[in-house]
Structure 1
Amino acid sequence: MRCAEYDGPVELRAMQSLAERVGAVNGFRMVGDLAWSAALAHESVSPTAVWRDEDDVVVAWAWLESEGSLAAQVDPARPELAGEVLDWAANLAGGSLRTEVCETEAPLIAALESRGYVPRPEPFLLCLEHDLDGVAAPVAPAGYVIRAVRGVGDFERRAAVHRAAFGSERMTARRYGVLAGAWPYRAEFDLIAEAPDGTFAAYCLGWYDPVNRIGEFEPVGTHPDHRRRGLARAVCAAALRAFAEAGAERAVVYARGDDGYPVPRRLYRSLGFTPYASTVTYASSLS
């Protein structure tokens, strides 16, 4: 067993290799999640560590996304590594540490609780899934066109609708280009609703894992000027159809499960998604 540490852009493909193997089992931290998070963190200095076995197979990774905030994944077949992952992160964090885990990640939860970490009463995610057998064709609201992103020429508008939807300035056309170059991005799963004036009004970024035949939404958003017109539903339906046509058997998405932000959860439930798990945030006693 060996651990390699990094200080800079995350070791995305190494981390995704584990997510590809165990994400479908745990139902959390899948390949698309990691690609999206890495794009947002592009060029930032983020300590990461990757554990590989004697056959050079990735069996665990840890990523200190921000001060005291850990993302991690451990192969369920190597539960003894969960404690080592947490100890590595706690040592770098220098005290307080928090991490969000899925209730399906038993080794991580056991290691957290044995070290005195406690669940925190804060927002949590519902993990939702949708069987893709017999997915209906999407219907575009009047005046809008639902289509896939067509490459670099769309990146400025694509980044702009994300900024408007989330009130964030992090996504730029340049950063979107980095995202589009990351595996497993495919433009056919990057669906947008285009308004009559050419504005991108809503989007659903889909990620397809062909090994596990799972599609994932991450993220979905609507420009504030175009809300309450059924656009988010339309682009999500288009993504589901695209997944099904590519051979996917199911789709997944995460949405807030608490009442602080219920709209996305209602949207996905209305599309036929059902919950299969939820997350909880554990924190050290110093947090």
Structure 2
Amino acid sequence: MRTTLSRPGVDGLDAAAGALRAWQDEGVPWQLHPGDIGWFRRFGAEATAAAVRTWSRDGRILAVGLLDGPRLLRLTTAPDARRDEELARVLAEDLGDPGRGVLPEGTAYAEVPADALLHDALTGNGWGTDESWTPLRRDLAEPVGDPGVRVEVAGPEHAEVRAAVQRAAFDNSSFTPDRWHAMAAGPLYTDARCLVARDARGEAVAVVTVWSAGPGRPGLLEPMGVAREHRGHGYGRAITVAAAGALRRMGASSAVVSTPSSNTAAVATYRSAGFEQQPETRDRRRDP
């Protein structure tokens, strides 16, 4: 049976997230984590469903994509389907044809697992490469040290503070308390924690959200940020160490994160928190 593309809708989000959860494993190049869908849920259930695409064969989901912006598809496949020729061909066709409802006309981008045969299919269809990313990983087999600052789990009563630090950390961030509540209302937030770090005066200075994929599987940091006026004091390292500790307590086997390679400060921060750099990856780019 041929691989088919679908939009799962709100009712199908659990199946897509369940597939992503099952695909998280040590030693497997990752591209999309259930936490990525959980973080996108800040825009609401309908918007999240509209951004998700799945590819299935014989009733089994083989690939999941998230439109993280109108021209960027973040995509991964089942590990045992990474070298599946028919899947690679269908994915390349669907990503290259605006009529399929995945990516629009004009310049578009795709993030694809490093070991996927899809890279060859995209190259054959005229796709080039674009931005470099640096994945980082921290093993959680051993206990994580004290972060050295006060860190609290942000619940509903902290939504305003959590959102304010997010906006202070990222240019053009639109995160609000209402969006925090929308994210926290999603089923994936059951396996997530928002953390807030405070300085010696009690002011909130850094935030992170961590997403578990279940015991024994890699957990994700998405996002982590330090308020602009508090940078340069080690708070990024501190909140990252706290994030690793939270994931370990949730049973994660490792903590993973990815950042643009050009963001050398972020790479340095994660390394200072015990994360090890993994081989770089590159976005794929389609030009008109």
Scaled to the shorter chain, the TM-score interval is 0.7 to 0.9
Other structure's SS at 2:135 match: strand
Which stretch has the larger CA shift, 206-215 or 61-70?
A: 61-70
The residue number in structure 2 matching 1:116 is: 126
The whole-number CA distance in structure 1 between the counterparts of 2:202 and 2:90 is 51
Which residue matches 2:285? Answer: 283
Structure 1 gaps of 5+ residues are: none
Partner Cα separation in structure 1 for residue 62 and residue 213 of structure 2: 19
- Against the structure 1 CA distance between its residues 50 and 19, is the aligned structure 2 distance closer, same or farther, given a 3 Å change threshold? same
- For residues 4 and 281 of structure 1, what CA distance do their matches in structure 2 show? 22
Identity among equivalent positions (%) equals 26
- Maintained 8 Å contact 1:65/1:71: yes
Equivalent pairs, count: 276
1:147 and 2:148 are equivalent in the alignment:
no
1:86 to 80, 83, 92: 92
Root-mean-square deviation (Å): 2.8
Q: Aligned match of 1:223 in 224, 227, 231?
A: 227
Q: What pairs with 1:1-287 in structure 2 (closer than 5 Å)?
A: 3=4, 5-6=6-7, 12-24=13-25, 25-40=28-43, 44=47, 46=50, 48-54=52-58, 56-78=59-81, 79=84, 80-92=86-98, 93-104=104-115, 106-120=116-130, 122=131, 124-141=132-149, 145-149=150-154, 151-186=155-190, 189-195=193-199, 199-258=203-262, 261-286=263-288
Asked if the contact 1:103–1:277 (Cα under 8 Å) also holds between the matched residues in 2, the reply is no
Task: Pick closer, same or farther for the CA change 1:72–1:272 going to 2, 3 Å.
Answer: same
Q: Please give the secondary structure, in 1, of the residue aligned with 2:277.
A: strand
TM-score calculated relative to the size of structure 1: 0.83
Deviation, structure 1 residue 4: 5.4
Q: What secondary structure, in the 3-state scheme, does the structure 2 residue paired with 1:26 have? A: coil
Structure 2 unaligned blocks of 5 or more: 99-103
CA shift, 1:47, in A, is 5.3
List per-residue Cα deviations over 1:206-246 (Å, max 9, x = no partner). Answer: 11111543222111111122222222222221221222223
Superimposed CA distance per residue, residues 147-197 of structure 1 (whole angstroms, 9 cap, x where no aligned partner): 111x21111111111011002341111111111122432587321113466
Please give the TM-score of this superposition, normalised by the length of structure 2.
0.83
Find the aligned partners of 1:206 and 1:6 in 2 and give their Cα distance.
Answer: 27
Q: Which amino acid aligns with 1:119?
A: T
Return closer, same or farther for 1:62/1:148 CA change in 2, 3 Å cut-off.
Answer: closer
